[in-house]
Amino acid sequence: MLAILAPGQGSQTPGMLTAWLEDAELKNLLTSYSSAINLDLERLGTVADADEIKDTANAQPLIVAASLLSAHALGSDVNASFVAGHSVGEIAAAALAGTITQLDAMKLVHLRGQEMARAAALSPAGMAAVLGGERSVVLAAIKELGLVAANDNGAGQIVAAGNLDALSQLAPDGARVRALAVAGAFHTPFMEPAVAPLRAMAAEIKTSAAKVAVISNRDGAVVRDGREVLDRIINQIANPVRWDLCMETLRAQGVTGVIELAPGGTLAGLIKRAAPEIEQLALKSPADIAAAREFAARHGKA
């Protein structure tokens, strides 16, 4: 049984679309995305530097575009049973499931990036990855400092978010803390100002029942109603991502293989550590397409 995964913010790298755009069909598809949101995704994905694509307003649409392009290159005949995305990757997953169109996904992620960047500018806040340590000890230390476990990623990785001074004091026993190069405290109440504009846009987007079941970041639930998928995506902007529960669902549902779309690697790595019985493949470049199709044929439903 196969699942397709879409990565989240932080997975972007300079030039990550260059190889994909050697294909004229993919280049035309990206042009349609750029036109829909009035943002030059080709430039961002080929020549923009690391600082420019780290900007939330640029990073989010760029990452979703990369996932959609790589999914298109993989082919529509891939028989996945589930899709899931980490944070902003949920928007790509929703489009791949058929609950929203790809152009609506790009419009939604463009506004999401802009509004989250605006919310982040309202007060100094940030995020830090806590690696290792006893889970209960790590969560207690985060709570004690008034921080939020914004991403519970499983595999011994929890991302804390909140006030910068509090983050500087975070030092759970037995764990390493690494500050993340992000502009705000995503998936916390700091992002609440971004919710209303996104909810207003979402209300105007037509949704359809999922053709492929979606695993939700909120609680790992399997969701098929298109409106519920979209509502959950909006609500997650200011609430924690429970990727640990998504991985538990993959295991409980009997998934045997996962393909992580471009710019892939992070989610495949988490699954390798948390659920090594599930085979993983990261689709990082067009050179991986043949292997990904063979992988999908082995794990996909008949």
DSSP codes joined into one string, 19-81: TGGGSHHHHHHHHHHHHHHT--HHHHHHT--HHHHHSHHHHHHHHHHHHHHHHHHH-TT---S
Q: What is the pLDDT of residue 183?
A: 80
So what's the pLDDT on residue 152?
96
pLDDT reported for residue 302 = 55
CB 220 within 8 A of CB 245: yes
What was the pLDDT predicted at 264? 86
pTM of the model: 0.96
Catalytic residue at 187? yes
Domain boundaries, the chain: 2-121+188-299, 125-179
Span 223-230, mean pLDDT? 98
Average pLDDT over residues 115-139: 95
Averaged over 176-202, what is the pLDDT? 94
Confidence label for 182 from pLDDT (cuts 50, 70 and 90): confident
Helix axes 102-121, 192-204, angle to 10 degrees: 160
Which helix (H) or strand (E) is 300 found in, with range? none
181, 198, 229 from 89: Cα distances, Å: 18, 16, 13
Which of 176-185, 197-206, 282-291 is predicted with the least confidence, judged by mean pLDDT? 176-185
Is residue 117 over pLDDT 60? yes
- Catalytically annotated residue among 11, 67, 81, 87: 87
Which phi-psi region, left, alpha or beta, contains residue 7 (left: φ > 0; alpha: ψ -120 to 50)? beta
For the chain, where are the alpha helices, taking DSSP H only?
24-37, 41-46, 50-54, 56-74, 89-96, 102-121, 135-144, 164-169, 192-204, 226-235, 243-252, 266-274, 289-299
Residue range 125-179, CATH number: 3.30.70.250
| Length of the chain as a residue count | 302
Mean per-residue pLDDT of the chain: 96
Active-site residue flag, 86: no
- Per annotation, catalytic residue among 86, 110, 187, 299: 187
Q: Is CATH 3.40.366.10 the classification given to domain 2-121+188-299?
A: yes
Query: On the CB side of 49, how many CA atoms lie within 13 Å of its CA?
Result: 1
Rounded mean pLDDT, 221-228: 98
Give the pLDDT score at 159: 97
pLDDT tens-digit readout, 57-101: 999 999 999 999 999 999 989 999 999 999 999 999 999 999 999
pLDDT value, residue 145: 97
pLDDT tens-digit series, residues 21-61: 999 999 999 999 999 999 999 999 999 999 999 999 999 99
